[in-house]
Chains A and B, each alone.
Chain A
Amino acid sequence: MDRAALDAAILSAHAKDDGAALAGLYAKAGRAHLAAGEIDAGCFFLTQAYIFALEAGHDDAPALRALLKQHGRED
């Protein structure tokens, strides 16, 4: 999924208030930025992912938190 398609999917998930989908899509964006060495951008998107995962009680929430913690962004 290219960046434009990812952005569109995120907007669509927001429109549907689909927290679980948002957690997954933002995580995908965050990990892509981290892989490109863009730590701040990556942590921004991972934060978005973490919050929606936390709200939804999604299984990915602990892993996202751990990733943010690894970068000093969560406790």
Chain B
Amino acid sequence: MPDDQTVTDQTLTDQMPAQTLTDLGPVLQPVETARGLPNAHYTSQTVYEEERDAVVFANWAGIGFGFDVPNPGDVMPVDFMGMPMLIVRDNDGEVGVFQNTCRHRGMVLVEKKGNIRGTIRCPYHSWCYGLKGELRSTPHVGGPGQNLHDNIKRGELGLYPIRSHVYRDVVFVNVSGSADPFEVYAAPLLERMKDHDKPVYHGGEGSGFSFDVACNWKLAAENYLESYHLPWIHPGLNSYSRLEDHYHVPGAAPMAGQGTLVYQQTKGEAGEVFPDFGGLPEKWDNGAEYPVLFPNVLFAYQRDHAFAMLLLPQGPQETIERTEIFYAFPEGARPDLDDLKAQNAVQWKGVLEEDLFVVEGMQKGRHGVHFDGGKFSPVMDNPTHDFHRWVAERLATARAKSA
């Protein structure tokens, strides 16, 4: 029996790569001949975890917003693809991110959003951490009333820091710690959008909304990337923003997206508008762009307001889409525009809601066993292909390293 068991286990191990790895070759072809990512990239828990490590954690992903922790001492726990993280605003006003796990016994430290007046105290044995992650005290660690021990070196046992960066109030993390610095990683986006390198202010309560969507996170990004679907899914746009008024943002991974030449400001019943972001060149009077910073942050750049949507994967087939709207003026500075802000949020929620049946429908379609990843339009689907190819390249690189 032991010999039989050994053979069985070895056989399973040998078969595992063939069962779990997908064929990325067709995805890496030019758009004219490429296929999309295979079904397993949308349905399989194994591939989801592979993408979590190679595509999401190895790059810069958005997990929250600076306004989630507006005051010194504010903390917000985030469970991001199963990884417990803690967004903290320290007493210098800086935003940091830590693994939300005590260095002692691995207890999760903070379970609820709140304000830390002093230190973060582990609810298990009360090891205490400062807001910059430093280990401040280790009660009774050397015996009752003895809080020191030669083997407990506090300087080596601070909270594990997660590399983070805040851009347009989005809190990005690079969990692996191995990506290029954010400014290098996101350079194509930062360069293209340098006109918009200005402060943005969250619109306050009512300027955000979330959808819990039955789809893989990538489908939400893919749908946002292209304008091909606009006349069919958002027919309301046809009267003023026709398909021919849209263009692809020139592909420069990890960024791709679409733009419009006929952006119209949000207007209230009395013709009131939001103040523009100052100093924008003329092209933004009627232009707007909607790029995705791969892997999971969808941006909107417009003259009078902006938004960012975070795709927060909840599993291979479930995603939370969290959208927050920003303006050129601080919350409370223009109470006369509160109604217009509310109208704007309703308007965007309605537009983005129109996409939900599409991404959920594509998710359902990916259970069709004969679906081969799909065929791209070489004219209309270029940004989608850019994204697929970028994901496939990240996976191929990771597979090559682990081979």
Contacts and interface: CB of A to CB of B under 8 A. Distances in A.
Interface of A: 40-48, 50-51, 53-58, 61, 68, 72-75
A47 B148 contact: no
5 contacts: A55-B117, A55-B128, A57-B117, A72-B148, A73-B146
Contact of B121 (A44, A51, A58, A75): A51
B314 interface: no
B145 A54 contact: no
Most buried by B among A48, A54, A57: A54
B145 A55 contact: no
Contact of B118 (A44, A46, A48, A53): A53
Contacts of B136: 54
B247 to A, nearest CB: 53
B194 interface: no
B266 interface: no
A72 to B, nearest CB: 8
Contact of A47 (B118, B119, B147, B154): B147
B147 A54 contact: no
Given A51-B139, A55-B119, 19 more contacts: A40-B144, A45-B145, A47-B147, A51-B121, A51-B126, A51-B128, A54-B118, A54-B119, A54-B136, A54-B137, A55-B116, A55-B118, A55-B128, A57-B117, A57-B119, A61-B118, A68-B147, A73-B148, A74-B137
Contacts, number: 55
B140 interface: yes
Contacts of A48: 139
Contacts of A51: 121, 126, 128, 137, 139
B188 to A, nearest CB: 43
B145 A40 contact: yes
Interface in B106-144: 116-119, 121, 126, 128, 136-137, 139-140, 144
Interface in B141-159: 144-148, 154
Contacts of A75: 148, 154
Nearest to A74: B147
Nearest to A30: B145
Nearest to A42: B145
Contacts of A43: 144-146
Contact of B145 (A46, A53, A58, A61): A46
A28 to B, nearest CB: 16
Most buried by A among B116, B137, B145: B145
Nearest to B144: A44
B353 to A, nearest CB: 41
A75 B146 CA distance: 11
Contacts of A58: 118
Nearest to A71: B145
Contacts of B121: 51, 54-55
A44 B137 CA distance: 14
A29 B103 CA distance: 30
A61 B148 CA distance: 17
A51 B126 CA distance: 7
Interface in B303-324: none
Contacts of B128: 51, 54-55
Contacts of A61: 118
Interface string B224-263: 0000000000000000000000000000000000000000
Query: Which 9 pairs across A and B sit closest by C-beta, in order of nearness?
Result: A57-B118, A43-B145, A57-B117, A44-B145, A55-B121, A44-B144, A54-B119, A47-B139, A51-B126
Contacts of A50: 137, 139
Nearest to B136: A54
Given A53-B118, A55-B118, A58-B118, A74 B148 contact: yes
